[in-house]
Amino acid sequence: MADNFNFELVSPERLLLSEMVTEVVIPATEGEMTVMAHHAPTMTTIKPGIVSVRSSGGSKQDYVVFGGFADILPTGCTLLAESAVAVEDLSKDELTRRIEAAKKELEDALHHEHKSKLEHFIMELTHLRGIVQQD
């Protein structure tokens, strides 16, 4: 049986989740990461994707995040998301709206680095839309 640890998912609007869990899978920018109790201290940035949380009772809940960072300690994990919502509360139209807004911003971008980041963000959101629509 896996040990429990405290997990908090926070967005600027509100605290979405704060509970004891056995496992959290996060979309780190360097690749998907599974966090469990006693994890080595780590800080990582988060890309748009799905955060899967397995509670200490065994139930699983998924959240969509749109970037941010995670602070991981042996005793817990805090994910500070730029924006986050439970998967079942996310409409397909919201993802399309975010993609269109990023495309508009890309049209007006002047610097290569900013354009590159926006292109990557659009690619991640488009991939995320495909995942969410399959469920």
What's the confidence (pLDDT) of residue 109? 84
Q: Are residues 30 and 84 in the same domain?
A: yes
Q: What is the CATH number of the domain that holds 30?
A: 2.60.15.10
Record the pTM: 0.81
Q: Looking at the 3D structure of the chain, how many domains does it have?
A: 2
Provide CB contacts within 8 A for 113, sequence distance 6+: none
Averages of pLDDT over each 10 residues, the chain, 135 residues: 90 93 95 94 94 92 94 96 89 83 86 85 82 63
Q: How far, rounded to the nearest angstrom, does the alpha carbon of residue 10 sit from its chain's CA centroid?
A: 11
What's the confidence (pLDDT) of residue 124? 85
What's the confidence (pLDDT) of residue 26? 97
Q: Are 91 and 10 in contact (CB under 8 A)?
A: no
Q: Domain of 23?
A: 5-88
What's the confidence (pLDDT) of residue 133? 63
Q: Are residues 62 and 98 in the same domain?
A: no
Q: Are residues 28 and 68 in the same domain?
A: yes
Q: Are 65 and 83 in contact (CB under 8 A)?
A: yes
Q: Are residues 16 and 82 in the same domain?
A: yes
In degrees, to the nearest 5, what angle opens at C-alpha 109 toward C-alphas 69 and 94? Answer: 55
What's the confidence (pLDDT) of residue 118? 84
Q: Are residues 11 and 67 in the same domain?
A: yes
Q: Are residues 27 and 83 in the same domain?
A: yes
